[in-house]
Amino acid sequence: MIFLKNILTIITLSFLIGYHVSSQTEYPRITVTDDIEIIKISEHSYIHISYIDTLQYRRIASNGFILVNNGKALLFDTPMTEALTKDLVNWITDSLETVIIGFVPNHWHNDCMGGLDYLHHLGIKSYAFDLTREIAKSRNLPIPQNGFSDSLTLKLDNLEVVCKYHGAAHSMDNIVAWVPSERILFAGCMVKDIRTQNLGNTIDGDLNEYPNTIKTVMKEYQYARIVIPGHGQFGGVELLKHTLDLATQ
């Protein structure tokens, strides 16, 4: 009986993972360059994926988020380099025919704000959690222009996105961006792809607070339709539960 129960559990998990993977093909995927891809996940929302080659980890893919409405766009996270950021910005402005009016990084790492200087050069306003600005300043990194202490609501006419800090996890300053009307959560690097077997790089984070932060996020965004991690495939709220499991191992 126990054997049968274990077999059924394995089959169920395999089905859920298989469904998660196959569901990615339902969304249009656009190749911008060899190192940048775009996935359209709703009328107003896009995931940008950028790739870089490293000696330590080989080829790394990083996710970011784009929200568009009525000819305007908000950008969440940049690729790691200025060159990749330039290619992404050109695609957003040319292909989507939008003007980028604001940028928000998930946290201070270069897979979130590696292209910040370039955005400032273009005159794009930047916003970040206060601690992100403090860390950037202490490390002689480009500093986002405008800070917020708890949460920030940005609007594209009738469309809004709420950026909020829930606690330390992957980094001390990681936030999330929530689009209520779309039920889309850009959670960034604190949340892990369903296939990931560990929490990855936590040297700048807090392993003690990680589970508490994820529990808070799970409770507040329990009705999320799409959850986007900082790396890997997007999914639903199962990514939050998976991350909590990893954080409590």
Residues with a catalytic annotation lie at 107, 109, 111, 170, 189, 192, 201, 231
Six-digit token string for 96:
């989507």
By CB neighbour count within 10 A (0-12 exposed, 13-18 middle, 19+ buried), where does 83 fall?
A: middle
172, 213 contact by CB (below 8 A): no
Report how far residue 138's alpha carbon sits from residue 126's, in angstroms, rounded to the nearest whole number: 18
* Amino acid at residue number 14: S
Report how far residue 157's alpha carbon sits from residue 72's, in angstroms, rounded to the nearest whole number: 9
Which residue is it, tokens 């049968």? 4
- Of 144, 139, 140, 196, residue with least CA distance to 175: 144
82, 66 contact by CB (below 8 A): no
Six-digit token string for 174:
């990681």
Report in angstroms the alpha-carbon separations of 188 from 32, 109, 225.
22, 11, 16
Q: What angle do CA 243, 244, 247 make, to 5 degrees?
A: 90
